[in-house]
Chain A
Amino acid sequence: MIKAEQKPMEEILRSIDPYKKILLSGCGACVTVCHAGGEKEVGLLASALRMARKKIGKPLEILEATPARQCEPEYAQDLSELIEKVEAVLSLACGVGVQTLVRYFPKMPVLPGVNTTFLGETLSHGVWEERCQACGNCILEKTGGICPISRCAKQLLNGPCGGSSKGKCEIKKEADCAWQLIYDRLSSLGQLYKLEEIIPAKRWGVESRDSGLRRIIREDLKI
């Protein structure tokens, strides 16, 4: 799922400084799971922002909402009644959710309240780690289900590099070397022969974002 982190309070306060009444909109999907922008975080941030503004003598009125998925047109449009009543929207959804609101409410300033960080997995309560970079052509079948694009600092397709030491990465010492993980995994699966295949360089310019905006079209689903 998409992982995000709340922006620093100073940055949020600065961005909403010109406004007296805003809508604080969370999202009930990914950012709820990573505790960055769900209903609880909306309540907490709204309370903190109201107090911060009251303290400096510039009271702020905040309406609160947490649509099930801010990135879906139906849910985003449901916010229209609330949006009519405010001067700006502070969104705790990911960058996608922010841009959905921008598309449907062209005259309304929509400000991001979180930094969308990565596509990741929950390791334990409160710990998330990157697992996918949406590169556009999945090679997990060749690497034992461990992604070198997101987990190897150098994105090597035929690793490891010379910097792999005792199973750790030379770029980020606390991180496991992705290619050590791939070797261990293929070894336990009895599929070490897969390492003999040279994985060709990815075609970043064709299948990934280097060729510009990506779009998926399913003709059968169009209305």
Chain B
Amino acid sequence: MADFEPKIIAFCCDQSGYPSADMAGTLRLNLPKNVEIVRVPCAGRVETLYLLKALEKGADGVILFACYEDNCQYLRGNLRAKGRLSYVHRLMEKIGLEKERIEICYLATNSGVKLAETLQRKSKELKRLGPNPCVDRR
């Protein structure tokens, strides 16, 4: 368990999460080792199923980087993402999976530092929670 490096899938909105991830790279900020960035045109493009599939297919945690409320280019994409997240949380509770594994984080275009800090914090939290029990690791 000591060498457990949680796999995090970060869905990044093209207006906030992705430019922030780009900035984190430009600033050479430290990110956890096992992060996979998935660029999406809007957080609202992330279907409920994507969140669940990420966990089913091997992620230990998922973060959805979305624009601040009232700041969505498509008006309600971030609110839709928030609603889908709450649906997934309810599903996860029902199947006995810690809902902390999936979260939403609101960013602006230039939030490279916040993105890096959020990923670092998430990685620590996931190390504490342990590996996703629903993943076959053989």
Residues of A within 8 A of B (CB): 8-10, 40, 43-44, 47-52, 54-55, 59
Contact = CB atoms under 8 A, between A and B. Distances in A.
B97 A44 contact: no
Given A40-B47, A55-B96, 4 more contacts: A10-B94, A44-B91, A48-B94, A55-B133
Given A40-B47, A40-B49, A54-B135, A47 B56 contact: yes
B56 A51 contact: yes
A44 to B, nearest CB: 5
Contacts, number: 44
A9 B95 contact: yes
B134 A54 contact: yes
B136 interface: yes
A47 B94 contact: no
**Lowest 9 A-B CB distances belong to which pairs?**
A51-B134, A9-B94, A52-B95, A47-B52, A54-B134, A43-B49, A55-B133, A47-B56, A55-B134
27 contacts: A8-B94, A9-B94, A9-B95, A40-B48, A40-B49, A44-B52, A44-B91, A47-B49, A47-B52, A47-B53, A47-B56, A48-B52, A48-B91, A48-B95, A51-B52, A51-B55, A51-B56, A51-B134, A52-B94, A52-B95, A52-B96, A54-B133, A54-B135, A55-B95, A55-B97, A55-B134, A59-B136
A44 B52 CA distance: 7
Contacts of A52: 94-96, 134
A8 B96 CA distance: 14
Interface of B: 47-49, 52-53, 55-56, 91, 94-97, 133-136
Nearest to B136: A54
A207 B52 CA distance: 47
A10 B93 CA distance: 11
A61 to B, nearest CB: 12
Contacts of A55: 95-97, 133-134
B56 A50 contact: yes
A9 B49 contact: no
Nearest to B55: A51
A55 B96 CA distance: 8
B59 to A, nearest CB: 12
Contacts of B133: 54-55
A112 B112 CA distance: 48
B136 A9 contact: no
A52 B56 CA distance: 10
Contacts of B91: 9, 44, 48
A191 to B, nearest CB: 41
A10 B96 CA distance: 11
Contacts of A9: 91, 94-95
Nearest to B90: A9
Contacts of B49: 40, 43-44, 47
A26 to B, nearest CB: 13
Contacts of B48: 40, 44
A52 B94 CA distance: 9
Nearest to B133: A55
